[in-house]
Amino acid sequence: MQKEFSRYETARILGARALQIAMNAPLLIKISQEDLEKINFDALKIAEVELESGVLPISVNKPLPKKNEEKLKRTKEVKISEKEIAESEKEEEKEIAEKGEIMELANPEDEENEGIEGESQ
């Protein structure tokens, strides 16, 4: 029965049951007084014995991911010729030239003049 649980689930189950036993919950399995003395009345050891014997009424709900059985469809690539690419680039350049501002290289002289004008204001 213990093989059904992962080590994390086993630890959680044993810890919860050991806490119950430590709080004077009744034992679910009969253990002789000698066996209890051998394990020093350890609640965790008693919980292990109960789990191994299969008397713990505990079930674990493991949510598993749903399988996606839908087939993926490949998208068709639209092939564009070199001429069409060149034409679209020319159109974009025209639009940018008409709407946008073309930046020119800055001369060091222009920057000095701007600095002097900015200080006087």
- Show me where the domains of the chain are located: 2-53
Tens of pLDDT, residues 43-57: 999 999 999 888 888
Q: How far apart are CA 117 and CA 107, in angstroms?
A: 16
- Residues of the chain short of pLDDT 50, as ranges, are 1-2, 121
CATH number of 2-53: 3.90.940.10
> Which pLDDT score, from 0 to 100, does residue 79 have?
76
> Which pLDDT score, from 0 to 100, does residue 15 have?
94
Is the C-alpha dihedral spanning 104, 105, 107, 108 positive or negative?
Answer: positive
